[in-house]
Amino acid sequence: MKHIVQQEYSVNKTKRNRRNGHGSFLIWFTGLSGSGKSTIANAVEAQLVQQGIHTYTLDGDNVRKGLNANLTFSPEDRAENIRRIAEVSHLMIDAGLVVLAAFVSPYAKDRETIQKIVGYTNYVEIFINTPLEECERRDVKGLYAKARAGEIKNFTGIDAPYEAPVAPHVQIDTMKVPVASAVKQILKAIENKLDIQ
Ligand code: ADP
């Protein structure tokens, strides 16, 4: 951008990672509403904190109440929602945190944007693959009933698409895998990223 010069600071990501004793990166949970993203992200974070890892969780509902309160669920606003979250994640990675992000993030293009913003090696994609019927049966927040009744428009799985990831780092079928096993799989997948090179 014109007239903007990147400032170099002497305390950088590498130094913060060394001080913390672990690497920093983004664990991105994608899947339908009610699939189990927040539940699993929460359990993963609890384990990480127990290991002395510095973490932060970004959650769809919370971010939409503040930073992204002016955005709708149109495809354009969903893209902007994700772009801002990715930029915030990027700052947090730079700050030395392991960032967990639980967002439906239904469009492959938007998930590609996240990787570009945070850097490919800083991105771990977790696909919480729970069938729509099961998410609708759980209807944790009563949103599917509202979407079926036409009270909510552009609801993913009902009248807006979900583009499933083709090559996620980890895929969890919550119909078969209990939360504790999902956590184990995810911890295994991030082991090398937690180590400082
Ligand atoms: P999301 O964040 O994807 O919208 P939530 O985590 O809020 O979904 O809700 C998922 C619901 O599914 C919770 O009520 C959770 O207890 C339930 N659930 C049942 N089995 C599982 C599982 N194996 N993994 C994750 N969640 C599960």
Q: Give, for ligand 1, the residue of 39, 138, 141, 144 to mutate: max count of ligand atoms closer than 8 Å to Cβ.
A: 39
Instruction: Find out whether the beta carbon of 55 lies less than 6 Å from any atom of ligand 1.
Output: no
Residue 116 counted as domain residue = yes
The conformation of residue 160, written as its DSSP 8-state character, comes to B
Relative orientation angle of helices 179-194 and 37-50, to the nearest 10 degrees: 50
Confidence of residue 7 (pLDDT cuts 50, 70, 90): confident
Predicted pLDDT of residue 197: 60
Residue 98 domain-assigned?
yes
Domain carrying residue 61: 21-130+161-194
Q: How far is CA 101 from CA 1, 24, 111, 126, 141, in A?
A: 28, 13, 12, 10, 19
Percent share of the chain, pLDDT over 90: 92
Asked whether residue 25 is assigned to any structural domain, the reply reads yes
Nearest ligand 1 atom to the CA of 35 is: 3
48's tokens: 């990480």
CB 64 within 8 A of CB 71: yes
User: Is 114 domain-assigned?
Assistant: yes
pLDDT digits (tens, 9 = 90+) for 124-180: 999 999 999 999 999 999 999 999 999 999 999 999 999 999 999 999 999 999 999
C-beta neighbour count of 68 within 10 angstroms = 19
Which two three-digit tokens encode residue 191? 């082991």
Is any atom of ligand 1 closer than 6 Å to the C-beta of 174? yes
8 lies in some domain: no
- Three-state secondary structure call for residue 103: coil
What percent of the chain shows pLDDT beyond 70?
99
Domain assignment of residue 137, yes or no = no
Q: 141 lies in a domain?
A: no
Read off the pLDDT band of 8 (50, 70, 90). Answer: confident
First to last CA, the chain: 32
Domain CATH for 34 = 3.40.50.300
Main-chain phi, psi angles of 99, to 5 degrees: -100, 130
Does the C-beta of 179 come closer than 6 Å to ligand 1? yes
The CA R_g of the chain, rounded to the nearest whole Å, is 17
For residue 36, the 8-state DSSP code is: S
Q: Does residue 156 sit within a domain? A: no
Can you tell me the distance from the alpha carbon of 49 to that of 141, in angstroms, rounded to the nearest whole number?
27
Measured CA to CA, the distance from residue 137 to residue 148 in angstroms comes to: 13
For range 108-136, the mean pLDDT: 98
Q: How many domains does the chain have?
A: 1
pTM of the predicted structure, to 2 decimals:
0.93
